[in-house]
Structure 1
């Protein structure tokens, strides 16, 4: 579904990503793990057109998208849940969710999808008229995930979904990611919580300073001595 080949990204003269290669097959959960500064978020920005790559190719469903606009990328079926959630304060939960469907015209289907979101996140139904700024971090993450799902993505990109959340919310968020995947959405997950990310991943890639240094199934990476020592306190 997604194939990234020889991807390099620069911020001025600084190279954040150095000729990275990876792919995501339809129906998978793929996790990219690594320390701060490894380049994880930069990869998602390049995929979604938020930051242009300086080299390489990004194929989505066999179509090159590295030069496409973010709007075209969303229309193609990719949606991003950004790091830090970035919900719109001063707007209600409902208004935030509706923004996720801004490219869609099928009002009846949008209404159905809203109900699906409320079924998955009952607390959002209770607070749909509430300003998102007044929600907890976990509830804001649910809004961000629901907003992304409102575009009906084929590929959902998640950037550090557990960041800053209480343990009870972290477990819930990862359960929700698995449920979204089981219902047919392919997932690319960027996450510092390596144990949680690899526990639900079909496959994973380990990044260090802009390069892929290790790859394998989620189980293989969880059992890896290198991953244990670097990310799991082993």
Structure 2
């Protein structure tokens, strides 16, 4: 579904991503793990067209999207939930969700999608008229994910969905990610909580200073002594 080949990204003179190659098959949950500064967020930003690679190619469903504009990438079915959630303050929960459906001119279709989002996130239905900025961190994460789902993604890019959340919300968010995946959406997940990320992943890649240094199934990486030592406190 997604094929990243020899991807490099520079910020001025600094090379943030160094010839990274990986793939995501349809129906999978794939996790990218690594320390802060390893290049994980930059990779997602390159996939969604927010930064332009200095080298390499990105193909999605056999179409080259390396130089496509972000809105065209969203329209193709690849949707990014950024780190920090980036919900729109001063706008209601409902208005935030409606912005996620900007691709759909057909009101009936967007209403049908909204119904499924409210079924998955009942708290958003309860608070649909509330200013999005007044939601708790966990509720804002649900809103960010709900807004992304409004555009009917085929592949969902999630950047640090558990960041800053209480443990009870973290468990709930990961459960929701699995449910979204079971219902047909492929997921590429970046997450500081390596144990949680790998426990739900079909496969994973470990990044260090912009390079892939290890790959395997989620179970293999959880059992890897290198991963345990670096990320799991083992």
TM-score (norm 1): 0.99
Query: Please, what is the CA RMSD of the aligned residues?
Result: 0.4
SS at match of 2:140: helix
The superposition leaves residues 140-180 of structure 1 with CA deviations (integer Å, 9 ceiling, x where unpaired) of 00000000000001000000000000000000000000000
The superposition leaves residues 177-216 of structure 1 with CA deviations (integer Å, 9 ceiling, x where unpaired) of 0000000000000111000000000000000000000000
SS at match of 2:168: helix
Aligned to 1:156: 156
Q: Distance in 2 between matches of 1:13 and 1:201?
A: 34
Which runs of structure 1 show a deviation greater than 6 angstroms over 4 or more consecutive aligned residues? none
Q: Distance in 1 between matches of 2:75 and 2:112?
A: 19
Deviation of residue 106 (structure 1)? Answer: 2.2
Q: Distance in 2 between matches of 1:93 and 1:82?
A: 17
1:66-215 pair list within 5 angstroms: 66-215=66-215
Deviation of residue 107 (structure 1)? Answer: 1.3
SS at match of 1:18: strand
Segments of 5+ residues of structure 2 without an aligned counterpart are: none
Aligned to 1:38: 38
TM-score (norm 2): 0.99
The superposition leaves residues 84-122 of structure 1 with CA deviations (integer Å, 9 ceiling, x where unpaired) of 000000000000001001011121121011111111111
The superposition leaves residues 58-97 of structure 1 with CA deviations (integer Å, 9 ceiling, x where unpaired) of 0001111010000110010011110000000000000000
| Number of residue equivalences | 234
Q: Distance in 1 between matches of 2:42 and 2:104?
A: 27
Segments of 5+ residues of structure 1 without an aligned counterpart are: none
Deviation of residue 44 (structure 1)? Answer: 0.4
